[in-house]
Amino acid sequence: MLKIENVKWHGKCSRHPMFDPAADGIGAIKGGCTRCLELQAIFESHNRTLQLMRSFAPVTVQKSKPAKPVPDEQQDLFPSLL
């Protein structure tokens, strides 16, 4: 069994902090910046890994059972006003 934890990671190029691999793509890399190329490679590897995991065993969402309704046990404060 392979266990992969959720990891939140934010990486950006120090020379091109506005570069976003998801939105911009490889065509937006300026001057063959190695940091931007590495970010693009990480992004593509991540997407490929997710694609392989989903094709191997699709994610199953476990539906929780609906909660039983709780009876209203609160007493009426002003029963004479009804």
Give tens-digit pLDDT for 33-66: 999 999 999 999 999 988 988 888 877 777 777 7
How is residue 27 annotated by DSSP? G
Percent of the chain with pLDDT over 90: 38
Instruction: Indicate whether 27 pLDDT > 80.
Output: yes
pLDDT at residue number 1: 65
DSSP string over 34-50: HHHHHHHHHHHHHHHHH
pTM over 0.85: no
CA 72 to chain CA centroid, Å, is 38
Each domain of the chain, given as residue ranges in start order, spans: 10-60
